[in-house]
Structure 1
Amino acid sequence: MRIGIACPYSLDVPGGVQFHVRDLAEHFIGEGHDVSVIAPADSETELPPYVTSAGRATAVRYNGSVARLSFGPVTAAKVGRWLEHGDFDVLHLHEPMTPSVSVLALMAAEGPIVATFHTSMLRSRTMQTAYPLLRPSLEKIAGRIAVSEDARRTVTTHVGGDAVVIPNGVYVDRFAEAPRRAEWIGRPNAPTIAFLGRMGEPRKGLPVLAAALPAVLAEVPGLRVLVAGPGDPEEITAGWPPEVAAACEFLGGVSDADKASLLASVDVYVAPNTGGESFGIILIEAMSAGACVLASDLPAFSRVLDGGSAGAMFANEQPDDLARTLVSLLGDPQHRGELAKAGQERARIFDWSVVADKIMAVYETVIEGRMASQWEPERRWGRFLPGRTHR
């Protein structure tokens, strides 16, 4: 099958949608399909051979974050050439209402179209404003996928209709088999916890974790906090209590392999995100690696953690509750191990071998629907043509 996938966000910086697109494309390529991806990217960015660059992206504020998007006539021309050259059996657009490559592809494309909605935004002026303009194009989408119930509600609220829920995927074994790193492994008197994310983005929750740490350090003075992700540590720690800043080790951006090893090595992975999350791919990665997960009780996180049976949760934006729960976990290795085991078992339902099959079923459904609609006029009117008989 010839599959075209459009990603609205730049491949120059890491992100959940970008990882989803990359992993899905590589899974289908591994199964023998012909896959082509188009996404914004700078000319200096090294891209896999299956990716076509839609050109340099511009940073704009979107959905509580800063997104790097590409739009305009030059990008539209590149998208048009990609569509013409690809001659795809199915076109898969991610975030088809985000003003970037996916919107341009949707406007230009014909044929079987599938769209995946990742965002959870029940109140969005951007979507409310864009919908009347995009409505004719959105009606071309034959198959709608949402990565979570929260994302599905965004579809029903802002787009209309419904979507089938198919979660994000993870290569579970890559994390399960990741080697532990001695420098990141905790000791009884010096346990380790990890935070991964953009440090300067408030909704990722690092300020909540920092506010909880004085109480945690009072009970666990040897705690080491490993912080991975982009951001300036000096800027981030300005105003923090000295003992909190001293407990943190800033690793900067980490490779996929290092991320897996980090998650496999720490005693607890902490996800203090405050909102704007429709799924929680990092939770699945941590669970796959065998880490005990502690996450804010966002609805999306709660669903991933099966209501708390596959990981611990604390009250969102409540540092005191985070501190209490973290201290309890660090003091109870048996409970940590039980949660880690339950998380690793649950992670299997999110493996790409499961998720990609569900996505392929959507592809096949919309392709068959397109073929049926093309044959319908002939079946309807062919019986009136000379020499034609129909049952």
Structure 2
Amino acid sequence: MRIGIVCPYSWDVPGGVQFHIRDLAEHLVALGHEVSVLAPADDETPLPPYVVSAGRAVPVPYNGSVARLNFGFLSAARVRRWLHDGHFDVIHIHEPASPSLGLLSCWAAQGPIVATFHTSNPRSRAMIAAYPILQPALEKIRARIAVSEYARRTLVEHLGGDAVVIPNGVDVGFFERAEPREEWQGSTIGFIGRIDEPRKGLPVLMRALPGILARRPGTRLLVAGRGDADEAVESLPREMRDQVEFLGMVTDEDKARLLRSVDVYVAPNTGGESFGIILVEAMSAGAPVLASDLDAFAQVLDQGRAGELFANEDADALADAAVRLLGDPGRRAELRARGSAHVRRFDWSVVGSDILAVYETVADGAASVAADDRPSLRTRFGLTRDTTPPL
């Protein structure tokens, strides 16, 4: 199958959507499919052979964060050229409602279109206001995927229609096989995320750290991600700042090794999350997870059975939970076992099969589905009423 995938966000800026698209593309290539990914990228960015650059992206405030998107006449021309040259059996567009390559591709594409919706934003006035502009493009989508129930709810409430929920995928074995690093072991808490993005929650963890260190003085916090380290520790007493080690940007291999090494992985995110790929990666690596009780995080952690939850933005609750976990090896071992079992449903062997089933459904044409009188399949894959393949 010839598959075209559209990435809305800049390839050179790490993020959950980019990682999902990268891993999906590599999974499909390994299965023998021909895959091309169109993504924004700076000229100097090294790209895998399956990625086609749509040009430099610009930062745009989006969903409580700053996303690097690509939009405009030049981008539209590159989209049309990529679509013309690709002769795709299926076009898979991520975030088609954002002002990005996804929307441009949705406008320009002819043929079976699958769309994945990642955003969870129950009060998006911008999405409601833009609906009349988005509607003609969104009506071309044959099947809709949401990465979580909360992303699906955002789609239903703002844009109408429905979607099948297929979570983000992770190569569970990659994280399981990682070797711990000795210098990252021993009373360590891990955090991975953009340091200068408040919704990732590092300020909450910094407020909790004095309470943790008061009761467990030997604890170290390991922070991986881009941002200003000096600014991040400004709120900490000076005598505690040596207990925080900033690792900067890390490779995928070192991320896996970090997650294999820490005693507790903390995800203190404050909002705007529709899934929580880092939680799945942490569980895959065997790290006991402590996360804020966002609805999306609770779902990923099996409502607290595969990881512990604390009240969102409550630094004292975070400190209390972290101290309990650090002092209870038995509880950490229990969370490792539960997380390792629970995470299997997110492996690419499962997620990839579900996505391919959607591709095959739209590529074969929903007209045959209607002829076979199988409405349950149409409902599961969120197919639109107009399911006749374009001529």
Q: Per-residue deviation at 1:193?
A: 0.6
In 1, Cα distance between equivalents of 2:330 and 2:366: 54
Q: Secondary structure at the match of 2:289?
A: strand
Q: Which of 347, 350, 356 lines up with 1:360 in the alignment?
A: 356
1:300 and 2:307 aligned: no
Residues in 1 aligned to 2:240 and 2:360: alpha-carbon distance in whole angstroms? 53
What CA distance in whole angstroms lies between the structure 2 residues aligned with 1:259 and 1:276? 23
2:191 matched residue in structure 1: 195
* Counterparts in 2 of 1:327 and 1:100: CA distance versus 1, 3 Å: same
Q: Pick one of 223, 226, 229 that aligns with 2:222.
A: 226
Indicate the residue corresponding to 1:46 in structure 2. 46
Alpha-carbon distance in structure 2 between the residues aligned to 1:110 and 1:123: 32
Matched residue, 2:70: 70
CA RMSD of aligned residues (A): 1.4
Q: Does 1:291 align with 2:287?
A: yes
- 1:133-158 per-residue CA deviation (whole Å, 9 max, x = no partner) reads 01011000010000000000011011
Distance 1:330 1:373 in 2: 54
1:310 corresponds, among 281, 298, 306, to: 306
- Match of 2:179, SS state, is coil
8 Å contact from structure 2 (residues 115, 144) kept in 1: yes
1:1-391 alignment runs, 5 A limit: 1-186=1-186, 191-369=187-365, 372=368
Secondary structure of the corresponding residue to residue 161 of structure 2 = coil
CA 1:180–1:172 in 2, change beyond 3 Å: closer, same or farther?
A: same
Deviations 1:257-291 (A, max 9, x none): 00000000000000000000000000000000000
Q: CA deviation at 1:245?
A: 2.0
CA offsets 1:178-202 (integer angstroms, 9 cap, x no match)? 001011011xxxx001000001111
Give distance in 1, aligned partners of 2:57 and 2:369: 38
**Inter-partner Cα distance in structure 2 for 1:294 and 1:270:** 5
Gaps of 5+ in 2: 373-391
- Distance in 1 between the 2:236 and 2:82 partners? 49
> Matches of 1:241 and 1:201 in 2, distance apart?
22
Superposed displacement of residue 9, structure 1: 0.2
> Hey, what's the Cα distance between the residues in 1 that align with 2:371 and 2:332?
58
How many Å separate the matches in 1 of 2:253 and 2:105? 33
Could you tell me the TM-score, scaled by structure 1's length? 0.93
1:189-248 CA distance string (max 9 Å, x none): xx0010000011110001111111111101100000000000011122223222442210
Q: Say which SS state the counterpart of residue 320 (structure 2) adopts.
A: helix
- Return 360-369 or 246-255, whichever deviates more: 360-369
Question: 1:154-174: CA deviations, max 9, x gaps?
Answer: 110111011000000000000
**What SS does the aligned partner of 1:32 have?**
coil
C-alpha separation in 1, matches of 2:369 and 2:108: 20
CA positional deviation for 1:375: 10
Q: Residues 288-337 of structure 1: CA distance to partner in whole angstroms, max 9, x if unpaired?
A: 00000000010101011101111111111101111111100011001111
Indicate the SS of the match to 1:295: strand
Counterpart amino acid of residue 2 in structure 1: R
| 1:145–1:165 CA contact under 8 A, matched in 2 | yes
| Distance verdict in 2 for CA 1:144–1:248, change over 3 Å | same
Contact 2:207 2:235 in 1 (8 A): no
Q: Which has the higher contact order (CA 8 A, sep 6+)?
A: 2
8 Å CA contact 2:206, 2:236 repeated in 1 = yes
Matched residues, number: 372
Give me the whole-angstrom Cα distance separating, in 2, the residues matched to 1:350 and 1:54: 30
User: Counterpart of 2:338 in structure 1: which amino acid?
Assistant: A
Letter of the 2:290 counterpart? L
CA contact under 8 A between 1:209 and 1:319: conserved in structure 2?
yes
Work out which of the two has the higher radius of gyration on C-alpha atoms and give 1 or 2.
1
| Cα distance in 2, alignment partners of residues 85 and 140 from structure 1 | 20
- Unaligned stretches of 5+ residues in structure 1: 377-391
Q: Secondary structure at the match of 2:365?
A: helix
Percent of pairs identical after alignment?
65
